[in-house]
Amino acid sequence: MAEAAHIEVRDLTMAYGDFVVQTGIEFSVKQGDVFVIMGGNGCGKTTLMRALIGLQRPAAGTVRYDGEDFWSVAPEDQERMKRRLGIMFQGGALWSSLTLAENVALPLAEYTGLPPGRIAEIVSFKLALVGLAGFEDFYPSELSGGMKKRAGLARAMALDPDILIIDEPSSGLDPLTARRLDDLILELRDSLGATIIVISHDLASILAIGSDSIYLDADTHTMIPTGNPQQALLHGDPRVRHFLTRGAA
């Protein structure tokens, strides 16, 4: 893969008008990490993701990719930085007027200049990786929710990004498909050296794949650094253990 990805978030505040969703968010992600952002419903996980991927300007703070502050550079530099990111949205966010193959091919056609034959091979391989070999000509409306999600991951991987940001990978999937997706995420990290940020509240998935994590608290609107989720489950902050044990601890 290309240069080492390194993400650093400092003193970030996310707000909608006067309503502060989260404040004082600080974390850094090393290359090859599977970094999990966890928290209950409405705690601001997706809002934080939108700040990381350039969809929503934070009220304060910085998001640095390899030392370059995303929100203070020129728009063309932001575009260049965005191309390093592969993003899988919660519901897949596939373009409904395009087939699966066209969905995955679009970023390749836009940014690589590869001949159509090569693009078709890459598209088929990416779809096969997420278990959707043979579904190239299907439209998103013909797929189940879980298939859309997996196709969304195939599209996110289209350009071999060195940072993958994945919103709720396993919610809405059956346990076996969820496990397969978790395995794929780890595989992408191990094989391609990708850095992965996962936004999730799925406990099994968090514990299976997370190497580092933060917990966003919806009540205090602040974060708790939690480190390795497995360790957090045993020795973490009581609020985090309460979350990770489904209220048992």
Partner 1 sequence: MTKAVESSAAGEAGQKLETRRVDDGLLVALSGRWCLDQTLPSREIVERELSAVVRRLTFDATALADWDSGLLTFLAGVLKACAARGVAVDQDGLPEGIRRLLSMAFAVPEQKVALRAAAGQSLLARVGAATLDLIRGAPAMLGFLGEITLSFLRLSSGRARFRASDMWLEIEQVGPRTLPIVSVISFLVGLILAYLGADQLKLVGAQIFIADLVAIGMVREVGALMTGIIIAGRTGAAFAAQLGTMQVNEEIDALRTLGIPPVDFLVLPRMLALMLMVPLLTLYSGFVGMLAGLLVSITIFDISFFEYYNETLRALELKHFWVGLSKGTVYGAMVAFAGCLRGMQCGRSAEAVGEAATSAVVTAILLITIAASVMTIVYYQLDI
Does the footprint of partner 1 cover residue 129 (CB under 8 A)?
yes
Residue that the structure tokens 């044990």 belong to: 245
- B/e letters for 56-84, b = 16+ CB within 10 Å, e = fewer, are bebbebebbbeeeebeeeeeeeeeebeeb
Interface residue with partner 1, options 140, 146, 169, 236 (CB under 8 A): 140
Interface residue with partner 1, options 59, 60, 106, 114 (CB under 8 A): 114
Does the footprint of partner 1 cover residue 4 (CB under 8 A)?
no
Dihedrals phi, psi of 196, to nearest 5 degrees = -130, 130
Q: Is 225 helix (H, G, I), strand (E, B) or coil?
A: strand
The set of residues, in sequence order, having a beta carbon less than 8 Å from that of 76 and lying 6+ positions away, is none
Does the footprint of partner 1 cover residue 221 (CB under 8 A)?
no
Does the footprint of partner 1 cover residue 133 (CB under 8 A)?
yes
| Residue whose CB is less far from partner 1, 140 or 236 | 140
Q: Build a one-symbol-per-residue string for 153-172: x at contacts with partner 1 by CB under 8 A, - elsewhere.
A: -------x------------
Q: Return the bridge partners of 199, or none.
A: 37, 167
Residues that bind partner 1 (CB under 8 A): 1, 96-97, 112, 114, 118, 121-122, 124-126, 128-129, 131-135, 137-141, 160, 183-184, 187, 190-192
